[in-house]
Amino acid sequence: MPETTWWKRGIVYQIYPRSFQDTNGDGIGDLQGISQRLDYLQWLGVDAIWISPIFPSPMADFGYDVSDYCGIDPIFGTLDDFDRVLEQAHSRNLKVILDFVPNHTSDQHPWFLESRSSRTNPKRDWYIWRDPAPGGGVPNNWISNFGGPAWEWDEATGQYYYHAFLKEQPDLNWRNPEVREAMFDSLRFWLRRGVDGFRVDVIWHLIKDAEFRNNPPNPGYQSHQAEINKYLQVHSADQPEVHDVIAAMRQVLEEYEDRVLIGEIYLPLERLVAYYGKDLSGAHLPFNFQLIQTAWNAHEIEKLVNEYEGVLPDGGWPNWVLGNHDQPRIGARIGKAQARVAAMLLLTLRGTPTMYYGDELGMTKVEIPPESVQDPWEKNEPGLGLGRDPARTPMQWDSSPNAGFTPGEPWLPLAPDFQTCNVEVLSQDSGSVLCLYRRLIDLRRRHLALSIGQYLPVQSGGQVFAYERRHGAERLLIVLNFGHAAQAIDLPDGVGKARVLLSTVRSGDWHVEAGCLDLAPDEGLIVALEEG
């Protein structure tokens, strides 16, 4: 793929549709709301929107339990509404990526209703059914990602079915060729409509161990952790055969021009990069969540970036993610001052960045009263702080009631600071984090060194992480202070002139004398270098 391919040079913006913009007053965002806010996304400067699931669903897991892969849930609107989003986005040069959930369906999907109707039904093998263990009980020790056994007893047919998540989300049997073809036809349904690609949910789960062996105990498990961590997921996910499935999925996208396949994968780097596939036949972008999981200090982040760059396969394009609908917001994890540094990091590293709605406003954790909890994971394992609701609260558009999100009662509470932390207020404050994001995006668009240039590490030390991005004769130095005290670093040898193009905390741009670069606390700088 040439480096000018849109998904290499562009920025992806994730929309959680329930929380983006409501237009009918039911307190839940909808497709007409996304259409209404496309001008904002164009103003911000992103290149693609990824929309979390909008398919028909009983909403046991808010759309990640799909009952029809070729429709739109009435909560969000109609197929006509979706086609309008697609048309209006494309008219603004915005690509549209859909969330595809192939590992499991809803237990209300017609396929599963057939599958559980009898052992002899033609769709019985479309799902994973097993007899009880010798002596009775669940077939093995696999745990649901949301807590409790991953097996649900079906009284009518006398077998268990497997669910990696909720019991309302039975796993499909991707070893069955009929399942593959049915799911690939679902992809084609959306590709024919003009969708530009897919983010594939839990793609590393698609194939399970053929012998259904027990997972080994996790020696590092601690009682405050989620129950899924009791065992190492050796046999229930990340099986070698999954790469053949992903390559076949990629081939479906190759039937259409200029589409992208993104895979959700929570694995260590050395296993993650295998999902690029043999000869890059797998996912174009296996999602790299390491910035979410790594300790926030200069040493660990530098180590991570260099390790990732080192293990990428030849021709594999990197990508970076700071937040999503399953993780605490970046502002909640590292604080508002460092969130500005994180914005510069995300938008200056080599590779495709994915932004999460509201992070550009500096949204943080919103406390959810017990009576307002919606997330099934929090309900299944209360008290462990696993709830995802605090990262899914409504987008804050203005200072009007309910932040301009809905004329009704929002499905989740709003942040208490929405009257000052919103698009309308922050867009008029040149020093705001929103305007910082916009300037970063503009710089990335104007400088090929930032969008498709080389990455070169720079020795720094202390709480400073520095690196260069180069394209042709252009050299840009990025210097990030992860500490809360002022720092100074030497400019690279041979630099005659340097000019600060952007600071995360100071306004304007300025020239720097060759030799030393001063950093304020919690500051990031983008510096243009000239040899001399």
Q: Which of 14, 17, 15 shows the shortest CA–CA distance to 72? A: 17
Q: Which of 260, 340, 304, 338 shows the shortest CA–CA distance to 502? A: 340
Residue 398: CB atoms within 10 Å: 15
- DSSP result, 211-256: T-PPPPB-TT--TTS-GGGGB--SSSS--TTHHHHHHHHHHHHHTS
Chunk the chain into consecutive blocks of 10 residues (it has 532) and report each block's average pLDDT, rounded to whole numbers. 85 98 98 98 98 98 97 98 98 98 98 98 98 96 95 98 98 98 98 98 98 97 92 98 98 98 97 97 97 96 98 97 96 97 98 98 94 91 88 98 97 97 98 98 97 95 96 97 95 88 95 87 97 74
Catalytic residue among 255, 424, 509, 531: 255
Catalytic residue among 61, 201, 264, 381: 201
Beta carbons within 8 Å of 290's beta carbon, 6+ residues apart: 269, 304, 308
Calpha distance 267→151 (Å, rounded): 23
What is the per-residue pLDDT for 2? 65
Q: Where are the alpha helices (DSSP H) in 196-355?
A: 242-254, 269-272, 290-293, 298-311, 330-334, 336-348
Strands across the sheet with 48-51, in order?
A: 285-286, 260-263, 197-200, 95-100, 48-51, 12-15, 352-356, 319-321
Q: Where are the alpha helices (DSSP H) in 366-503?
A: 376-380, 423-426, 433-446, 448-451
Q: Which residues pair with 461 in a beta bridge?
A: 464
Residue 5: CB atoms within 10 Å: 15
Calpha distance 157→153 (Å, rounded): 9
C-alpha dihedral sign at 190, 289, 526, 313: negative
474 is catalytic: no
Phi, psi (deg, nearest 5) at residue 234: -75, -40
Q: Which of 10, 8, 13, 21 shows the shortest CA–CA distance to 360? A: 13
Helix (H) or strand (E) holding 526: strand 524-531
Residue type present at position 286: P
Angle (CA) 308 313 319, round 5°: 50
Beta carbons within 8 Å of 99's beta carbon, 6+ residues apart: 50, 51, 52, 53, 54, 63, 198, 199, 201
What is the per-residue pLDDT for 381? 87
Q: Which domains does the chain have, with CATH numbers?
A: 6-103+177-441 (3.20.20.80), 110-162 (3.90.400.10), 454-531 (2.60.40.1180)
Q: Which of 350, 328, 318, 294 shows the shortest CA–CA distance to 482? A: 294
Calpha distance 438→426 (Å, rounded): 11
Longest CA pairwise span in the chain (Å): 80
Q: Which of 40, 110, 115 shows the shortest CA–CA distance to 70? A: 110
Residues 356/358/364/370 CA torsion (nearest 10 deg):
-90
Encode pLDDT of 330-357 as tens digits. Answer: 999 999 999 999 999 999 999 999 999 9
Residues 336/342/348/352 CA torsion (nearest 10 deg):
-120
Helix (H) or strand (E) holding 320: strand 319-321
Predicted TM-score (pTM) of the model is 0.97
Asked whether 160 and 130 are in contact (CB, 8 A), the reply is yes
241 is catalytic: no
| 3-class DSSP state of 389 | helix
What is the per-residue pLDDT for 308? 98
What is the per-residue pLDDT for 1? 60
Asked whether 469 and 449 are in contact (CB, 8 A), the reply is yes
